[in-house]
Structure 1
Amino acid sequence: MMSEKATSASEGGKARVKAYGSIAAVVLLAVLAWWYDPSWLYGWLKVLHVVAVISWMVGLFYLPRLFVYHADAEAGGEPAATFVVMEQRLLKVIMAPAMMVSWVVGLWLAWSGFGLLGLWLWIKIAGVVGLTVFHVFLSRAARKFALGRNTMSARQWRMANEIPTVLMIVVIIMVIIKPFA
């Protein structure tokens, strides 16, 4: 079993200060950009949105795959402890920030680009709500794994891994084809 922490408390504190500083800088830049509304803003926000969505989707595909292997690992063993660290870092460092950026920038783009009109946009938003619900489900499952209380088999996790794929397909169809427009 792992007896040492991967990072010390002081390193964690430094990382926290850097993260809060970065968040403050991004918020300040966002307010300035919103205030001045330069012509290039919409295009760059679309880029940011696509990067955030890709990052979030990678996590939504990878975390259930980690759960497949974690479910087969011996509880309390070194591999199980390693999976806990991997799962927590994936959730906290990649998935949660990417989800938040996807939502905030996506809603801003929808509001400024479409005025939230069109059935296709509401179906897309419903698909993203489904992805968010799945994200919350995975977060809770990661906590259960960390406590040694997983209740699903590796096979069930393999099947759960298909949920974000189906939702992603719905969202992409709504964005590219725009049926019901």
Structure 2
Amino acid sequence: MLWVKAFHIIFMVCWFSGIFYLPRLFVNHASVTDPATRERLGLMEAKLYRFITPFMLLTIIFGLWLASYSWSFYLQQPWFHAKLALVAALVIYHVYCGRCIKRFQSGQDNRSHVFYRVFNELPVFALFGTVILVVVKPG
């Protein structure tokens, strides 16, 4: 079980490192006008998204595997339900980032860098919430 937990944490850290950096690229993409720079940023965004998506999937797989050792316990814990809700929100955030990449590539994204600066902060709150729920187990 400790190996499963270790891999769950490793993949989560890898996923979060990418999910923190990807919207930062969006901030830069939204604020530059040079076509070559925009193209380079688009390439970086697409490659990073493809790189971190398997980490998201592995985080979920190892998390479910870890929970499977004691389903009856976890399903009775309110903090676990809240954690699952935060993970679901992060998956939606991740998929939305993929849609943002497609909009940038097609030239249809007209959001400002300010929007992406705020958007960039959302996973931080999810990380804080998830870690507090898992460590403190409130309720």
What range is the shorter-chain TM-score in?
Answer: over 0.9
The gaps in structure 2 that reach 5 residues or longer are none
Aligned amino acid, residue 108 of structure 1: W
| Of 88, 91, 99, the match for 2:46 | 88
Residue 113 (structure 1) shift: 3.8
Matched, 1:110 2:67: yes
User: TM-score scaled by structure 1?
Assistant: 0.73
Matched, 1:53 2:16: no
The gaps in structure 1 that reach 5 residues or longer are 1-41
- CA offsets per residue over residues 37-80 of structure 1, 9 Å max, x none? xxxxx1111111111101111111101100000011226x1111
Matched, 1:135 2:98: no
Partner of 1:98: 55
Matched, 1:66 2:25: yes
Aligned amino acid, residue 163 of structure 1: L
Distance 1:107 1:143 in 2: 30
Distance 1:148 1:80 in 2: 10
Aligned amino acid, residue 173 of structure 1: I
Moved over 2 A (4+): 113-117
Partner of 1:6: none
- Percent identity for Structure 1 against Structure 2: 33
What do you get for the CA RMSD once the two structures are aligned?
1.2
Distance 1:44 1:156 in 2: 39
Aligned pair count?
A: 137
